[in-house]
Structure 1
Amino acid sequence: MAIDKTLLDKGIKYLLYALPLMFLGPSIIYNAFINKQNVWHWLVLAVGIVLCGLAVYFMFKGVKAITDALFADKP
């Protein structure tokens, strides 16, 4: 069972993209809830939710790429 190194590297890159987004998204959402009196509250909240969604997307894509690289049936 051979490991596809390029696909493995791609999966690790996706996980590295998700790592800062996992911290940045909730921090921005928290900041939006703290500053409810601000006019930009809804925009900041939407940006935080989008960043959290991107973190989840990159995590799933990275884990899928890694599992495909490890468990692919290539001769």
Structure 2
Amino acid sequence: MTKRTNKELLGKGLKLMAGSLVCMFAGPVVLHSAFKNQEHPLYIPILIIGLAIAAGAIILAFKGMRKITDAIF
């Protein structure tokens, strides 16, 4: 009996990877905006948000890759 690709799990993994892709672009944009406006009173909160988005991109990428490999193998 051969194992087949779990399409539902593969779809979830691809959705996580899509979310990671969005965060990969949004994180550096927010960080760049924070670093350009260091004199602004909201510098620290925007910097924290940018770092959280960047960390979220890494986490989503790892979770997405894990789900995709689980679906294939």
TM-score of the superposed pair, with normalisation by structure 1: 0.91
Q: Give the structure 2 partner of residue 8 of structure 1.
A: 10
Shift of 1:19: 1.1
CA RMSD for the aligned pairs? 0.7
Aligned residues: 71
Deviations 1:34-61 (A, max 9, x none): 1001000000000000001111111100
* Structure 1 unaligned regions, length at least 5: none
**1:64 alignment partner, one of 51, 63, 66:** 66
Shift of 1:20: 1.0
* Structure 2 unaligned regions, length at least 5: none
1:22-37 correspondence runs (5 A): 22-37=24-39
| In structure 2, distance between residues paired with 1:3 and 1:28 | 37
Q: After the TM superposition, which segments of 4 or more aligned residues of structure 1 sit over 3 Å from their partners?
A: none
TM-score of the superposed pair, with normalisation by structure 2: 0.93
